[in-house]
Chains A and B, each alone.
Chain A
Amino acid sequence: MAAPDGRAPVVAVAGNPNTGKSTLFNRLTGGSQRVGNFGGVTVEKKEGALRLDGIDAVAVDLPGTYSLAAASPDEQVVLDVLTGRSEGTPRPDAVVCVVDATNLGRNLFLVSQIGETGLPIVVALNMSDEAERKGIRIDAAKLSSRVGVPVVPTVATEGRGLEALRGAIASALNDRPKFAVVPWPESMEEVCRSVRAKAGGVLTEAEVHRLMFDIGSDLPRRIGWLGAEPALREARETLKLRGMDPVSFEATERYRHLEGLLEGMSTRPVTARARRGYAVDRFLTHRFWGLLVFGAIMFVVFSSIYWLAKPLMEGVVALFGLLGGWAGAALAGTPMLQSLVVDGVIAGVSGVLVFLPQILVLFFFIALLEDTGYMARAAFLMDKVFSWCGLNGKSFVPMLSSFACAVPAIIGTRSIEDPKARLATILISPLMSCSARLPVYVLMIGAFIEPTYGPVWAGVALFAMHLLGLVVAIPVAFVINRFLLRTRPLPFVLEMPPYRRPGVRDVGLKMYRNAMEFVVRAGTVILAFAILIWALTFFPRTEAEGVSESEARAAQLEHSYLGRFGKAVQPAFEPAGFDWKLTVSVLASFPAREVVVTTLGIIYNVGEAEDSDSLLRERLAAASWPDGRKVYTPWVALAVMVFFALCLQCGSTVAVMARESGWRWAAFAFVYMTGLAWIGAVAVYQVGAGLAA
């Protein structure tokens, strides 16, 4: 059957979190998934082809929620899609409601709310094996006849019951089975009808129910109903007078109705068996052992991102180096095209793909931590540490990852449901000292700290640089949370699912989806940045005759738009003790901070000798101002390091931030971090100058 307008039927997959909904969706759609966002919000939308017997449908995975209350962006999206108000997603023709068979009552609460939208429903009674192990037996046929819609027992992890489910969905598209809705009292329906009339008839019955019950709902604003506030207040007053508390009436009445429907449907769980899935919790959330295990797991995650991804990243760089060499030789006749292809395009693509190993490794661990149920425990353990400054226990994994690289970390914040905590985590992640800052620290410490003060102070300086970002991030998070993100945080009410074995297929698909999305969406922006920067250093051309190649490169950089710009803004960096060469190098490293060492090499005319590192250190040590003072003192070196520690010199991070939170927040992060970096560098240099005087 096709939908009325001839398009393929759309089947939404809804359900509570931790019901195996994603696993079921993955099983139903196979690998044919597309990822994006729901219209206008940063809530992930997964779509896939759903082949039913003779029907080609489209399945849409909705975010996991406990109700349609629309208090969180996730709930808002579910309500919008089901009522046909989500931009870019047609109203579904049927809904597959995935319920956890071990917890039927709470799961059917959402199903019953969805039932009121009037959409045909098929219930997938998932985890029916786990229920059986716990001693819960459910008579699916009897339940089906009670609730009025097909109920299909499934075990998504093993693919059991899927054929029956496909069949039930196919018939539901024709038969349009309706869930047994709550028989609301006439005294309430009367109030609802008057509200509906006042709203001008644009609302469905289900939406009016949501409006009445969900105090603080965003719905009136979005349908442009200006008189909603007084009308709803009056309606709720009337409800209260008639003995129906608007806050609790829906829940108590709905649960009472469900209790009636479920009467005699299932056996009670055997308590001892029911607790089995939680047995290790005593250990894993213990105040000593729990924290120890947490630390160990996080250590494994971090060192894997750092060390496991490293050879792969080097492989990507080497591969593109080879490709660049080959392309360079092939295009030797046309120098400009050669430079565009080698230094712009190939370097740019390499700069995108180099992040893939870290993203894949991070999402391997995130998928594992989420699907086993450990992520919820990590959030539980760390909540007290993070919540006071507006972060979330789940912020820990991204923040830790950003010590390796902020790009996978920012994508990894998708595991944080609370939009406010997620945004705060995104905004402070780039402050953590990532591995690309290390070359700058090594150069500066090696040239100006270690020779004078010895290896101990060199170590202290390196450690201090890594600590600096973290120390600054905490007050920054507090300020952002307190003064910039005015919306209310979501209450921390987090289900602790029993520990479960993750499925290989689900972990693999999560890694694949996130990696692909990065390449397609953020990758294009990163590539564009790379080509832009190439152009700024390549033009305008200067033709130096009779000089060495490295001298010609230094002259070209000085002559280019970037070099001219660097000289022009140098006065702004004067208070930090930066000369024009350092300023140009700092500016050139805004797209990617790790290039600063290369740029300094070019600008100080070091060339590509084998001892280029020590040669660069010598040249830096010898550099002097026109009046003969040395440019680099230990204080200038420290100012440079502080600048790099705090500055958002990474086009890839900016592009990913823009992708995950919008350009405005990306611009904000860029401005606040550059500001902090400047203030930090100036403060260090001025203190140093004061001490020396």
Chain B
Amino acid sequence: MSLAQLSKDEGGRVLSIRAADVALAQRLLAMGFLPGAQLRIVQVAPFGDPITVELNGWRVSLRRSDAASVDIARV
């Protein structure tokens, strides 16, 4: 499943980044969305998108369409 499918307060572990958009994939990798990284959705914007993810103790928000390229396993 992908990060986009998680609901608020749910967590997961990154399996891989699917490189549909290489620039996006590289940006996410550079920010630490590496295989094995633990993450959790801490906020969902009022209109349902974007979402804020907690990762390695810091927070980043991204659109669900971009989050769809992060493959995760639910934890």
Contact = CB atoms under 8 A, between A and B. Distances in A.
Contacts of A495: 58-60
B23 A384 contact: no
A383 B59 contact: no
B32 A252 contact: no
A106 B32 contact: yes
B29 to A, nearest CB: 4
Nearest to A284: B43
Contact of B30 (A69, A285, A290, A385): A69
Given A66-B27, A69-B30, A106-B56, A493 B62 contact: yes
A224 to B, nearest CB: 23
Interface in A271-310: 274, 278, 281-282, 285-288, 290-291
Given A103-B57, A278-B59, A496-B52, A491 B22 contact: no
Interface string A101-121: 011011001000000000000
A488 interface: yes
Contact of A71 (B19, B26, B32, B35): B26
Given A248-B17, A278-B59, A383 B50 contact: yes
Nearest to A288: B46
Contacts of B25: 247-248
B32 A385 contact: no
Contacts of A282: 43
Interface in A481-529: 488, 491-497
B19 A67 contact: no
Interface residues of B, number: 34
A17 B35 CA distance: 24
A492 B62 contact: yes
Contact of A214 (B17, B19, B26, B35): B26
B32 A105 contact: yes
Contact of B61 (A102, A215, A380): A380
A538 B26 CA distance: 61
Contact of B56 (A103, A251, A376, A387): A103
B49 interface: yes
Contact of B27 (A69, A103, A105, A497): A69
B28 interface: yes
B26 A67 contact: yes
B46 A251 contact: no
A103 B34 contact: no
A216 interface: yes
14 contacts: A69-B26, A69-B27, A109-B32, A215-B22, A251-B34, A288-B46, A491-B62, A491-B63, A491-B66, A493-B60, A493-B62, A493-B66, A494-B61, A495-B59
